[in-house]
Amino acid sequence: MSTSEPTEFEQWLTSMVRDHGEFTVLVVLTSISEREVAPLCSTYLHVIGDEVDWDDITTMFAGSGQTWDGAAFFPTKAANGGPIDNPTARLRLSELEAKVTEDRMILNEGHFFDTLGRRIKIEPVPDA
């Protein structure tokens, strides 16, 4: 973890590892404008410990080639505990992508963070 004040993401990750041990997290990167949230790309990560800080995560996301504004994290575990296998992760990620495409509010069901590692939530936009 970083030596500066931990981000909300880092606090979340530490508590997840403490409370649940190892797990897999599905991630959806989004662009956010005043009236729209759009999914850009997705991935999954196997979380083994809490040594990763927000800077490490944003460096990894830079490899996507996308300019993103938000990242939603959806933890999942295998039936017997621990991380899920790669084929299951790909299947669950595909299912999540379909749900987010259908309804952006699904992002709030995960742990949603902005580019500074602060928690965010999207609100429905009333029709103009």
What is the domain partition of the chain in residue ranges? 8-114
Average pLDDT estimate for 86-109: 97
For residue 3, what pLDDT is reported?
Answer: 56
Label residue 101 exposed, middle or buried (CB < 10 Å: 0-12, 13-18, 19+): exposed
For 59-66, the CB contacts below 8 A with 24+ separation are 61/29, 64/29, 64/40, 66/29, 66/31, 66/40, 66/41
Q: Is the pLDDT of residue 1 over 80?
A: no
Identify the band that residue 72 occupies on the pLDDT scale cut at 50, 70 and 90. Answer: very high
Compute the average pLDDT of residues 46-65: 93
Distances (CA, A) of 121 to 49, 70, 103, 106, 108: 26, 10, 14, 10, 6
Average pLDDT rounded to a whole number, residues 42-57: 93
In the predicted structure, residue 120 carries a pLDDT above the cut 80:
yes
Using CA atoms, how far residue 113 sits from 8, 45, 107, in Å, is 8, 16, 10
Confidence of residue 53 (pLDDT cuts 50, 70, 90): very high
96 or 51, which is more confident?
96
Give this prediction's pTM.
Answer: 0.92
In the predicted model, what is the mean pLDDT of residues 15-32? 96
Mean pLDDT of 36-49: 95
